[in-house]
Amino acid sequence: MPDNSNKKIQFNLDPEIAQGVYANIALIVHSPSEFIVDFAAILPGVQKADVRARVILAPEHAKRVMLAMQDNIRKYEKQYGTIQMQGEPRSETINPFSGSGNQGEA
């Protein structure tokens, strides 16, 4: 069986997708077979968030994304300094406007 570990993956990025979407809140849920991450945008003082993108991952891929994010945050902080967070992160929902202790819903 050939060794595919050294092959580079080429990504095709559609111009519309390349524009990206803004999200400032994420909701993560899981089942035994998948993780679902909803990225949404919410305005301060508003109790409704509009989901902008949904990503569905197999558990192994979810863990790979987590490890890649940890690595990239470490590199970012080494280059630009520590990322300051207000308060403690929430368990499943990260809401940047939750200074009052209210947790947003997506």
- What are the backbone angles phi and psi of residue 16, rounded to the nearest 5°? -70, -40
State residue 57's pLDDT score: 98
State residue 75's pLDDT score: 98
Q: In angstroms, rounded to a whole number, what is the distance separating the alpha carbons of residues 63 and 77?
A: 21
Q: Give the pLDDT confidence of 83-94 residue by residue, as tens digits.
A: 998 875 554 555
State residue 7's pLDDT score: 87
Q: Give the pLDDT confidence of 38-76 residue by residue, as tens digits.
A: 999 999 999 999 999 999 999 999 999 999 999 999 999
Q: In angstroms, rounded to a whole number, what is the distance separating the alpha carbons of residues 95 and 43?
A: 10
Q: Give the pLDDT confidence of 10-24 residue by residue, as tens digits.
A: 999 999 999 999 999
Closest CA to 104 of 54, 51, 56, 66: 51
pTM: 0.69
41: buried, middle or exposed (CB in 10 Å: 19+, 13-18, 0-12)?
Answer: middle
